[in-house]
Amino acid sequence: MVAPPSSGDAAAPLSEDRILACLAGYFPQTHPSLLLGRGDDCAVLKAGRPLCVSSDLFLEDIHFRRSYFSPEDTGYKALAVNVSDLAGCGARPLGFTLCLGLPSWVDMEWLNRFFSGMAEVAGQHRMALAGGDLSRSKSLHISITVWGETADPGHFLVRGGSMPGDVLFVVGPLGLARVGLAQLEAQGRQALDAWPAACAAHLRPAPQVDAGLMLARAGYNARPPALMDLSDGIMRDLPRLLGLTGELSAVCPEKCTGLGAEIVLPQGRLHPELLRYAAATGKNPVHEALLGGEDYALLGTCAPDMLPPLHSAIPGLYSIGVVTSGGGIECNNAPLDSLGGGFDHFEA
């Protein structure tokens, strides 16, 4: 790690060389998955198994606000949300590229703190930073591409393939990040005192990588679970998992029609901070959990006989219902047609 810059360093003008030198203190140049790392026109990957690849934008005032995201939180979450996509495919993270659009207010002190938060996630998952790009911009713009290898040769998990009678399961808390966002928007970082778990769920989500790998291995000699990263809330993501939104029709047309779900989600499954928030605001806690958004949990389905060993092996995995053949989604014996969807960037 590099030492934090002195006040004189922080005040000096930025340059690409200074930024790259700062970055090099947090991210090593070499890694077992790289034949050639940063510093050339391209990185060269060493790929022995199929690679899973995902990209995400992380934009100021769209995905985060500087008023309550510290620089460390910003760097941490920018990479963590991408790693969560790899977890949703049952992949082991290997590396990433980073593109930064930096506005005029950014200085070396901010960059050191930002890189330290990002390096925390990269270190947890032993990921290489292979390259990227730097530019000036009017607002802070972060774009990351991650890749990882399959848990077993040629094996990864996808959203399609659910069947009627399959168990619907989740790994991780539901709706907690939604509470954290609401409290951070209302109170700023003071919300951390009264809502520590909810704020942490929003500011520093924990990608469920180990769970994804175990789920991929569980499906190696059996019908694999269907799995996805839960980032937009169950009401938005469950139809995607079941193939009700059209994305999976080319992958499994014979299996992606007419499916639905019966969700069973008692309040006892929900985090105490979510229950406290619902009681204080007069909202239905189960509905808040379903609307969710930015949970970065895993949402999946599996054959009923697969659930007991998965439940024993994977901390935080629990059943929330079953897949049906009748179409439509119900929760606790009530239809959810009036509840609306989860998060959508393009809705007002």
Cβ(344)–Cβ(237) under 8 Å? no
Which residues are known binding-site members for ATP? 132-133, 159, 231
Q: How many CB atoms lie within 10 A of CB 109?
A: 16
Amino acid at 246: G
Q: Please state, in angstroms and as integers, the Cα–Cα distance from residue 263 to each residue in 54, 146, 166, 295, 327, following that order.
A: 29, 32, 12, 18, 13
Would you call 58 helix, strand, or coil by DSSP?
strand
E-strand ranges in the chain read 34-36, 44-45, 51-59, 91-102, 128-136, 141-150, 167-171, 226-230, 260-263, 297-302, 317-324, 328-331, 334-335
- For strands 128-136 and 91-102, give the pairing: parallel
Work out the number of other CB atoms within 10 angstroms of the CB of residue 17.
Answer: 8
Binding residues for Mg(2+): 41, 54-56, 85, 133, 229, 232
The two structure tokens encoding residue 151: 């848990």
Please report which helix (H) or strand (E) contains residue 339, including its range. Answer: none
Q: Residues, the chain, total?
A: 348
Quick check: 343 and 233 in contact, CB under 8 A?
A: yes
Residue 42, judged by CB atoms within 10 A of its CB (0-12, 13-18, 19+), counts as exposed
What are the residues whose beta carbons fall under 8 Å from the beta carbon of 304, sequence distance 6 or more? 165, 166, 167
Binding site per annotation, positions for substrate: 63, 294, 343
> Residue 208: CB partners within 8 Å, gap ≥ 6?
84, 87, 171, 172, 296, 297, 298, 316
Q: Which residue numbers belong to the known binding site? A: 41, 54-56, 63, 85, 132-133, 159, 229, 231-232, 294, 343
Collapsing DSSP to helix, strand or coil, 323 comes out as: strand
Residue 199, class by beta-carbon neighbours within 10 Å (0-12 exposed, 13-18 middle, 19+ buried)?
A: buried
